[in-house]
């Protein structure tokens, strides 16, 4: 009986240890996704350098390209966040477009090294008349 209890105790300790390390590992790999309002409101939770994702709409008239970097603002309709994109933007990047940016705060600016464009998931094939008109 002592052997069984010892085995059971070791099994419980082993499982608890494995669960602890799995949870800890998962927490360190979490990337948060926030809107501009949430990012501004929760700023203290994300100090400079802590990565998260920012989702919003590129504010019309705010895009400025200089030396391969892009400065613009994103909004969720309630708040705006200034962004510095230090990577090549996606092909469909532009004003009034939904973007998902991966980056971090740096001195009040969201610095992004990856930008994704959200687009419609539907695709419509060209009608025969539009194909004939193009050809």
Same domain, 6 and 66: no
Q: How many domains does the chain have?
A: 2
Q: How confident is the model at residue 135 (pLDDT cuts 50, 70, 90)?
A: low
Distance of CA 33 to the CA centre of its chain: 5
pLDDT surpasses 70 at 114 = yes
Triad 87, 63, 51: Cα angle to 5°: 45
pTM score, whole prediction: 0.67
Is-contact 46 32, C-beta < 8 A?
Answer: yes
Q: At 62, which CATH number?
A: 2.40.50.140
Written in H, E and C, the secondary structure of 16-34 is HHHHHHHHHHHHHCCCEEE
Same domain, 37 and 96: yes
Higher pLDDT, 27 or 75: 75
Mean pLDDT within 108-125:
78
Instruction: Kindly state whether residue 44 falls inside one of the protein's structural domains.
Output: yes
Q: Which residues span the domain enclosing 112? A: 31-117
pLDDT at 32: 64
Same domain, 9 and 40: no
Q: Where are the beta strands (DSSP E) in the chain?
A: 32-34, 51-58, 64-66, 69-75, 80-85, 98-106, 109-117
Question: What is the Cα–Cα distance from 102 to 85, expressed in whole angstroms?
Answer: 10
């Amino acid at each position: 009986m002592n052997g069984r209890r010892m085995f059971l105790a070791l099994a419980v300790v082993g499982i608890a240890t494995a669960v602890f390390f799995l949870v800890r590992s998962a927490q360190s790999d979490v990337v948060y996704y926030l809107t501009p309002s949430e990012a501004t409101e929760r700023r203290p939770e994300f100090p400079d350098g802590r990565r998260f994702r920012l989702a919003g709409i590129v504010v019309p008239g705010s895009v400025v390209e200089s030396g391969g970097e892009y400065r613009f603002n994103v909004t969720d309709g309630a708040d705006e966040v200034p962004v510095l994109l230090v990577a090549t933007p996606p092909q469909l990047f532009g004003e009034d477009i939904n973007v998902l940016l991966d980056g971090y705060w740096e001195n009040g600016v969201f610095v992004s090294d990856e930008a994704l464009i959200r687009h419609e998931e539907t695709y419509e094939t060209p009608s025969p008349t539009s194909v004939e008109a193009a050809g």
